[in-house]
Structure 1
Amino acid sequence: MNRTSFAYLASHGLSMLGNSTAAVVLPLVVLQTTGSALDAGVVAAAAAVPAVLAGLVMGSVIDRVHRRSASVATDLVSAAAVAALPLVDLVTGLSVGWFVLFGIVGSFGDVPGLTAREALVPHVAQHSGLAVDRLVALREGVGAFTMLVGPAVAAGLVVLLDGSGALWITAATSAAAASVTLLLPRDVGAMSGGPVVGTSPRAQLAHLREGWTTLLRNPFLVSVTALSLLLATVLTAIQGLLLPVHFTGLGQEGRLGLVLSALAAGMLVGAGGHAVWGTLLSRRSWFVAGLLVSCAGVALLGSLPPIALMLSGAGLLGVAGGLLATVTGALMSERIPDTLRGRVTGTQNAVLTAAPALGVLGAGVAVEFGSLSLAGVLVIVVWSLTVVGALLAPALRDLEPSPPALMVQ
Structure 2
Amino acid sequence: MNRVSLAYLASYVLSMLGNSIAGVALPLLVLQITGSALATGAVAVASALPAAVAGLLMGVVIDRINRRTASILTDVVSALSVAALPLVDTAVGLSVGWFVLFAVIGSFGDVPGLTAREAMIPGIASAGRIGAERLIGLREALGALVMLAGPAAAGTLMVVFDGSTVLWITAGTSAAAAAVTLLIPKQAGAITPGTGQVLMRDGWRTLVRSPFLVATTIVSMSMVVVMSGFQALVLPVHFTTEGRPELLGFVLTALAAGMLAGGGVYAALGGRGRRRTWFTVGLVITVAGFTTMATLAAPWVVFGAAALVGFGLGLFGSLMGVLMIERIPDDRRGRVAGVQNAVLTLAPALGMGGAAVLTEQSGAGVAAAVLAAVWLVTGALSLWARPLRDLEPRTALAVGATAT
Q: TM-score, structure 2 length as denominator?
A: 0.97
Q: What amino acid maps onto 1:330 in structure 2?
A: V
Q: Residue 92 in 1 paired to residue 95 in 2?
A: no
Q: Would you say the 8 A contact 1:267–1:320 is kept in 2?
A: yes
Contact kept, 8 Å, 2:81 with 2:106, in 1: the verdict is: yes
Deviates more, 1:397-406 or 1:28-37: 397-406
1:45, CA displacement in angstroms?
A: 0.5
Aligned equivalent of 1:62: 62
Q: Tell me what 1:249 maps to.
A: 241
**Residue in structure 2 matched with residue 200 of structure 1 by the alignment:** none
The alpha carbon displacement at 1:196 in A equals: 5.1
Structure 1: runs of 5+ lacking an equivalent: 198-203
Opposite residue 26 of structure 1, the aligned amino acid is L
Matched with 2:252 is: 260
Tell me the percent identity.
54
Q: Hey, what's the Cα distance between the residues in 1 that align with 2:159 and 2:4?
A: 36
One-letter identity of the residue aligned with 1:383: W
d(CA) in 2 for partners of 1:345, 1:249: 40
Structure 1, 126-135 or 259-268: larger mean CA deviation: 126-135
Structure 1 residues 408, 19: CA separation in 2 closer, same or farther (over 3 Å shift)?
farther
Q: Which amino acid aligns with 1:66?
A: N
Partner of 1:317: 309
SS of equivalent residue, structure 1 residue 281? coil
Deviation at 1:210, TM superposition (A): 0.9
Asked if 2 retains the 8 angstrom alpha-carbon contact of 1:17 and 1:146, the reply is: yes
Structure 1 segments, 4+ long, off by >3 Å, are: 404-409
Q: Is the 8 A contact 1:336 1:406 kept in 2?
A: no
Corresponding residue for residue 31 of structure 2: 31
- Cα distance in 2 between the residues matched to 1:109 and 1:405: 28
Q: How far apart are residue 407 of structure 1 and its match?
A: 8.7
Q: After superposition, where does 1:130-145 map in structure 2 within 5 Å?
A: 130-145=130-145
**Which residue of the other structure, out of 362, 366, 372, is the alignment partner of 1:370?**
362
> 1:397 aligns to what?
389
Q: Return the alpha-carbon distance in structure 2 between the equivalents of residues 192 and 124 of structure 1.
A: 14
SS in 1 for 2:104: helix
- Say whether residues 1:358 and 2:358 are aligned partners: no
Question: Which residue pairs with 2:378 in the alignment?
Answer: 386
What does residue 193 of structure 2 align with? 193
Contact 2:194/2:400 (CA < 8 Å) preserved in 1?
Answer: no
Deviations 1:370-401 (A, max 9, x none): 11111011011111000000000111111111
**AA partner of residue 18 (structure 1):** G
RMSD: 1.3
- Paired with 2:399 and 2:252, the residues of 1 have a C-alpha distance of 37
Q: Deviations over 1:160-194 (max 9, x none)?
A: 11112111111100110000000001211112322
Q: 1:279: Cα distance to partner?
A: 2.8
Question: Does the CA contact (< 8 Å) of 1:32 and 1:163 recur in 2?
Answer: no
Q: Distance in 1 between matches of 2:317 and 2:7?
A: 21
Offset of residue 195 of structure 1: 3.1
AA aligned to 1:104 is V
Aligned equivalent of 1:232, options 203, 224, 238 = 224
More displaced, 338-347 or 142-151?
142-151
Match among 313, 321, 324 for residue 329 of structure 1: 321
Distance 1:229 1:178 in 2: 29
CA distance in 2, matches of 1:406, 1:286: 26
Please give the secondary structure, in 2, of the residue aligned with 1:279: coil
| 1:408 positional shift | 12
CA shift at 1:128, angstroms? Answer: 1.4
Distance in 2 of aligned mates of 1:162 and 1:249 = 33
Instruction: Look up the SS of the partner of 2:174 in the other structure.
Output: helix
In structure 1, distance between residues paired with 2:144 and 2:400: 27
Q: For residue 294 of structure 1, what is the amino acid of its counterpart?
A: T
Tell me what 2:331 maps to. Answer: 339
How far apart are the structure 2 equivalents of 1:406 and 1:315? 39
The equivalent of 1:278 in structure 2 is 270
- Structure 1 position 287 matched with structure 2 position 279: yes
Looking at structure 2, the residues matched to 192 and 337 of structure 1 have their Cα atoms a distance apart, in angstroms, of 9
What corresponds to 1:304 in structure 2?
296
C-alpha separation in 2, matches of 1:289 and 1:156 = 37
- Paired residues in the alignment total 401
Q: Structure 2 matches for 1:82-121, cutoff 5 A?
A: 82-121=82-121
CA–CA distance in 2 between the matches of 1:14 and 1:80? 15
- Unpaired runs of at least 5, structure 2: none
Q: What are the superposed Cα offsets for residues 137-162 of structure 1, whole Å, 9 maximum, x if unpaired?
A: 11111111111110000001101111
Q: Is the 8 A contact 2:294 2:368 kept in 1?
A: yes
